[in-house]
Structure 1
Amino acid sequence: MSECCGCGKVVDVAGMQAKQRKVLVIVLLINLATFVMMALAAWHSHSSSLLSGSLDNLGDALTYAVSLAVVGASAHLKGRVALLKGFLILGAAIAVGVQIVWRLAHPGVPIFESMGVAALLNLAANAVCLWLLTPYRAGDINMASAWECSRNDIYEGVAVILAAALVWAFGAGWPDLVIAAALLVLFLRSAVRVLRAAWRESRPSAPPRVTI
């Protein structure tokens, strides 16, 4: 009976890992597609917030690829890989900061129509990703950090839509920079949160103390 239970447990774990891999492949492909779409739209519209979102999607695609590689690995290894994910989010934040500085030196008014259409498509795609990852949000550090990235994408999508609306309403470029700055803060907070959790997971457990 115990052997059967053991076999059943192995089958369940293998099935769970297969589902995780499938979900990660889907969200990886979605983020690659949205990165290309938003990068082209950012180039056309001259939008800092849209470019920030596209860089975030590229970072997320890399994060999902890394997550896919360590499905089924040890908790310690997943913690080490989550450190890499945190640094990827931090890299996206740095890229956003550089873009904001560049736009401040080269001011302009983005094309809000391109911003709005791209932002709506991106939000819809990100909503699908979050829906797919939500069942795993309380799982191991690998899937939990992937869900964290997807949740940030929802905030980013709503923020870029707001930026497009404000650019249209005021006929100025400053709302785009304000939203990009807000996304910068969001990415920094998320990077710190993921790095802290990953650091706890990646540290080797202390050996049990023996009392005599």
Structure 2
Amino acid sequence: MSDSCCSGTVDLRAMQAKQRRVLMIVLAINLATFVMMLAASIYSGSSSLLSGSLDNLGDALTYLLSIAVIGASGRAKAQVALLKGLLIFGAAVAVAVQIGWRLGHPEVPVFEAIGIAGLANLALNGICLWLLTPYRHGDINLASAWECSRNDVFEGLAVLLAAAGVWWFGAGWPDLVVAGALLLLFVGSAWRVLRWAWRSYRAEP
């Protein structure tokens, strides 16, 4: 009986260590993509890139929180997931402010910079999604991390669409349209994570 308990404890610790390693990798990737996309946004004047960079920063904070509660109680994980949802919603507010500012100060962003940064972001976030996909049906902690990573892949595709639109039309409005679409994506994602977290929180004793 004791051998069985020890085996179960070892298996649990090994699983938690594996989860921690995966989250550390995606944390590092998101910090790197945040810096890269922020620099590209400043250079290009792109709202879609800025929204993507803010999303990556929020995701990095999300993964950091996810690492902190590995092995914690279900209630603690639900509380952290609530905070994750609020972080995603905060990114949506920041994007909305940026779009409003760009509407008052229109300019044509540099589509080459948008395209290069978008491709790099899509490739790196594809790696993150691949790493997190095995945990998408796990507890609220890993499931919410997977939700963030899936958003990043959609974001990468949208940024490439923005670059193509700016190049084709020679105008800045496609970039703003994509930024607006990302804003709606963030709001929807925040709602789903907050709903899951609240249900998990209420289900815990």
TM-score category of the 2 structures, normalised to the smaller one:
over 0.9
Distance 1:205 1:23, change over 3 A: closer
- 1:86 aligned residue: 85
Q: What root-mean-square deviation, in Å, do the aligned CA atoms of Structure 1 and Structure 2 show?
A: 0.8
Give the superposition deviation at 1:203: 2.2
Q: TM-score, normalised by structure 1?
A: 0.95
- The 5 A counterparts of 1:1-212 are 2-203=1-202, 205=204
Letter in 2 for 1:184: L
After superposition, the C-alpha distances for 1:150-196 in whole angstroms (9 at most, x for unaligned) are 00000000000000001000000000000000000000000000000
Give 5+ residue unaligned stretches, structure 2.
none
Contact kept? 2:46, 2:109, Cα under 8 Å? yes
Structure 1: where are the runs of 5+ without partners?
A: 207-212
| Paired residues, number | 205
Larger Rg: 1
C-alpha separation in 2, matches of 1:188 and 1:4: 48
Q: 2: CA distance between counterparts of 1:133 and 1:36?
A: 22
Q: Is the 8 A contact 2:75 2:204 kept in 1?
A: no
Q: TM-score, normalised by structure 2?
A: 0.98
Give how far 1:124 is off.
0.4
> Deviation at 1:6?
1.2
Q: Which runs of 4+ in 1 moved over 6 A?
A: none
Counting aligned pairs with the same residue, the percent is: 68
Q: Which amino acid aligns with 2:193?
A: V
- Residue identity opposite 2:77 in structure 1: K
Secondary structure class of the residue paired with 1:114: helix
- Provide closer, same or farther for how the CA distance between residues 115 and 205 of structure 1 changes in structure 2, counting only shifts above 3 A: closer
The code of the aligned residue for 1:145 comes to: S
Q: CA deviation at 1:204?
A: 5.6
